[in-house]
Amino acid sequence: MGHVRHLFTAFRCSLQGIAAAFRSETAFRQEVAVFVAVALVSLALFPPAAAIGLIAAWIFVMALELLNMAVESVCNLVSGDIHPLIKKAKDAGSAAVFTAIIANGALWVAALLLLRGKS
């Protein structure tokens, strides 16, 4: 029974993390809005398997944003100063999110080109 309790505790902590990100991070709120658009447009335009892939790719962006928030939170806790290593960590987190957004853009271009080719 302890495993089930752990599962529910982990689920609750995850929801609290998502709620905290939504409350405190403008970028995360923007990514949630894009997620809604991605889900609606992809489900309207593409076959289910393709739509699920496009939606999952955007969920990956949001997951990276949550990790970026975690890195920034720890950096801010450790030091209020702008240390070169803290700047490097924060910039790397931001870059991870950025590269995932670029990859999503490439996926959408490819998906739309494939869709156009079937018309």
Supply the CATH number for residue 41's domain.
1.10.287.3610
* pLDDT for 119: 61
Q: Does residue 77 belong to any structural domain of this protein?
A: yes
Please state the domain count of the chain: 1
CA 72 and chain centroid, separation: 15
- Residue 119 or 53, more confident: 53
Could you please report the per-residue DSSP string of 4-33? HHHHHHHHHHHHHHHHHHHHH-HHHHHHHH
Q: What is the pTM of this model?
A: 0.89
Q: Taking residues 50-78, what's their average pLDDT?
A: 96
C-beta atoms surrounding 88 within 10 Å: 11
* CA–CA gap between residue 34 and residue 118 (Å, rounded): 26
Residue 60 within a domain: yes
Residue 31: active-site member: no
| In-domain check, residue 6 | no
Domain extent at residue 95: 26-118
Residue 78 within a domain: yes
- Which one is catalytic: 25, 31, 65, 72? 65
Is residue 64 assigned to a domain? yes
Asked, for residue 34, whether it belongs to a domain, the answer is: yes
Asked if residue 44 is part of any domain, the answer here is: yes
| 65 burial level (CB within 10 Å; 0-12, 13-18, 19+) | buried
pLDDT beyond 80 at 38: yes
